[in-house]
Structure 1
Amino acid sequence: MAADPLLLAPRPSLPPASPPSLGRVFEACAEAMLVLDPWSGRLAEANAAAGRLLGYDRAVLRDMPMGSLHPGQMPALIVFTDAVLSQGRFRTRSLTPRHATGAELSVEYSGAVLPPAEDGRGETRPRLLLTLTDLQDLRRRSIDSDADAYMRGGIAEWQKVERFFRDVERENQLILRAAGEGIYGVNAEGKTTFVNPAAERMLGWAAEELVGKDMHTMVHHSHANGAHYHNHDCPIYMAFRDGAVHKVDTEVFWRRDGKPFWVEYTSTPIRDRGLVVGAVIVFRDISHRREADEKLRAALAEVETLQKRLELENAYLQEEIRIEGNHRGIIGNSAAVQGILRQVELVAPTDATVLVTGESGTGKELIARAIHDASTRSSRPLIRVNCAAIPRELFESEFFGHVKGAFTGALRDRVGRFELADGGTLFLDEVGEIPLELQGKLLRVLQEGQFERVGEERTRNVDVRLIAATNRDLRQEVRAGRFREDLFFRLNVVPVESVPLRERREDIPLLAAHFLRGMNRKMNTASLRLSEADVRRMAQYDWPGNVRELENVIERAAILARNGRLQVVLPDAGPAASPGPAPAGSGEAGPALLTEHD
């Protein structure tokens, strides 16, 4: 069979072949005629009668895509052109071109292959001559002819009728052969009346082996699980018993070799003078689609299993965090840590503003998180803003948001951090870095609970609990004129100091042991241990970087470990500052101090 010519995309770089010289007969013919290039799908020529029938100017018809005359009829066009190319001549009435007004025309297409014409590359391509017969006009002429024939009588007219039905039958057979779906018919007794080539290929039976046989017994006798499929339950046979169309999305047909394959099919009853005389069945092999669906279902089941597993693992990790930590991660035996815990317990249930001060690396953010988690706002988010990382010109947009077009680069609306923290807690880390000109707006939000987005006049209300942190001396900043005094007093409602590590040396073994447990889990080993000498050396070090520095030292020691022995390397910090008595050994399973720190 020839390739589907109308499916081939036009090639713009290839000029259309010159239309054949059709002469005066083509121009003067009373029948509408078109010349079609099947390889580009475009019309190469049209005579005057075609312009009158279709309602288009001939210049418009030339180079018009054939598909434009037949919207939604591409499959039928392909079947027709393929039949013309393969047989040399072919007729069909299944195509209904659209008139220029949009009305559908009832015509008969007659196609013939013209001698090849040369294209712009020196290649020759065959063209099709299409003759369009107006069926309404044909019926009028036929009625007149029938009346005349009736008056004259004679066997010749009966022969014409017979030839007509033979042509129709041949036309239908070509359509059945061109169809990609399997098609077969059964009569009212369930006997097969015809089978198209696609059905032969899928079923593995030749048509002559199936025609006249009980089709259900041949290809539909069992369910997918092998259980018997009684023909009284068969939707195909029900179509000619109840006269209704039956569509089935998934069942199996059985091939000649005894192997099943998944199909979807429609069984449509055939009526003759109001009586159901059989059914026509159209089916499609959906084995690949069903296999893909099964793989998708299996993948989704696997995803669901993994999701449940991750939920369980998450619950386990959360429980471990809860067991390892106390008071939401802030634990320790030193008096300084116990004092912080008491402050957290006192201030957390309130909405008071808290100012956490202390050196970098002492765990100021963890204190803020502990206050939030112990508060009535714990179900709402804790939004963290690192004020030291925000460009000066973007502070206002970052805090309060902006509307589209408020400034260059504002391509869409942006929600600020205050809005995100509504109902929860806003943690301003390094609050001393806020520009002086923005401090007044921050003070207004804290006092009134109102703000405006940049570029917007609408005032928005917000309910936020504020926790601020800084490693600067804000009193000194106020005296230097770099920080507003009224804002300092508004932030410093409840001050909490995060004590440096050198002032709570007794907690160093607990922290080191905690970080080492984390490294053991991360590196999937349980052999790394701290020695007494390592603990003494760490206790005598001043830790200018505080807990963060200690964590880095433990991580580096674990990475450099050889044969299970840690390589603890401390920077040269000079003489130790009053280490006091040696702390407890790290071998105890004690709690960690600041498991997170800023």
Structure 2
Amino acid sequence: MASEIPEMFGAVFEHCPDAMLVVDPYADRVLDANPAACRLLGYDRAALRGSAVSALHPDQVPALVVFSEAVLAQGHYWSADLQPRHATGAALKVEYAGAVLNGEKPGLLITISDLEARRRRQVDEAAAGYVRGGLAEWQRVERFFRDVERENQLILRAAGEGIYGVNAEGKTTFVNPAAERMLGWPAEELVGKDMHTIVHHTRHDGSHYPHEDCPIYGAFRDGAVHQVDNEVFWHRSGQPVWVEYTSTPIRDRGVVVGAVIVFRDIGHRREAEEKLRAALEEVDTLRRKLELENAYLQEEIRLEGNHRGIIGQSAAVQNLLRQIELVAPTDATVLVTGESGTGKELIARAIHEASKRSDRPLIRVNCAAIPRELFESEFFGHVRGAFTGALRDRVGRFELADGGTLFLDEVGEIPLELQGKLLRVLQEGQFERVGEERTRAVAVRVIAATNRDLRQEVRQGRFREDLYFRLNVVPIESVPLRERREDIALLASHFLRGNARKLKTSDLRLTEGDIRRLERYGWPGNVRELENVIERAAILARQGRLRLDLPDTAAPAMPAAIPLKSNALLTEADRRERDRHNILAALEASNGRVFGPEGAAARLDVKPTTLASRIKALGIRYERAQP
């Protein structure tokens, strides 16, 4: 097969008796291998070409990098520390000599000297000399082998790793002192005994470890080297000793006659790894917490838009600002009430930013958007495996808001059976993640908001009275826009400037007529509706002229009907105005209901479908009654 591959590096490379490799250290690739290298490593030449150099040294990548860097830096270098793996998995004892190879194919030329073959040649040469030297030489040889055996025994006794041998029947043949110290057994009690039964009979979890599954015995059964990184041997005291070991078969004339086992105690390393793993998990938890905080903050920034301040000069707004100024420096719980769209979240943000917690996050929770079954997980977090789908630990909103402020929007939507869990953390500042027994403490300032009448909810049994009192420490009411009409022009101008920046235009203006139309309208959707109307008008504007999408003649929502003189003539606009007032009055009297015996349709003596059509035609907006 090798003769079919073109020679890449010349005849000397091909016919050199020493094993030679040409490698690209930057790409970690073997560019070529001469036949001697193929024989030494046990691989076909085609298999070696293009393979990773590091694959030949699976446990010595750092040493390989150091050797390569030294050759590149000095031009040549040698090392006896690298032990490439033979195709059978055995580690070879070799010496590497490397040199920088310049030319068309840049790389390193590595000459591999087989130390075992060198030793055999030296022994053969010495033996030939012994034969020539006669009896005296043979005596010297005998002394030499005795010295070698003595040195081997000294090495076994001095080795830091535990070493013991077993024969093909699994009986222990020798045990070095390090193995005695690590296992607590004297050698005389182990030699001749079944080692597996004494020190390797049980796995770390207490389950039985059969002989046929033991990798140590596998070495002399299949003739392969077995390496295990994480198992236990059992100390004489009954305590487990965590070890890594290698079981290498021993051959005599090609026949496997036993195995030698080298092991080391990795208990300290495992302990250090466990501490490191725990530290990394803690770091990962903190990282995920910071990521979630960042995600929540980004969401808050997106929801908040460009409107960060409370805008207005009305008496209602000035009173609101005074309340915020008084309550912000404290840690008191605040309950913000008011209709939808009046800026309850803006009030919560203003309190937070004026408080001593302003350097920590304001975490917003929309209680109405949380599924009932995920309430605990969302608020308090969970651990991996706590329920189906819990694939990793999750940090809850209370933990995210630790040291900061938690804004519970739509708090009236929390199911009754879950309100007790919220009350506990508000009272005690403690909670447990779902699936975890550890109690965690948090210091969170809570601001709640609702558009419901919680006192009425308490009377009707839909909200816990104790939770209501816990939330309603400092009540703040967000005034609807129709009750502070003098702020409409300021708010509209603010929203218009923001939209002009987004649309990159500067010719958008509000006329006096626009302002009068805006101030006449009832704004059932409050500030949020005003913001939407201005944005829509800016988008539809032509040549700087805004197109306000409002009813032609609008009036405050649900006012009393305007009396008309008996001889007054009604224009179409007046008739629409009268009908609008009449329907709004009926809706107000029926608490927003259209259908039913007490609904607005029955009060006006018209069919409910007819009234619904008129409401749509007149553009009337109203709050439907809660069921």
Q: What is the TM-score when the length of structure 2 is the normalising length?
A: 0.44
Q: TM-score, normalised by structure 1?
A: 0.46
Higher RCO (CA-CA < 8 Å; seq separation 6+)? 1
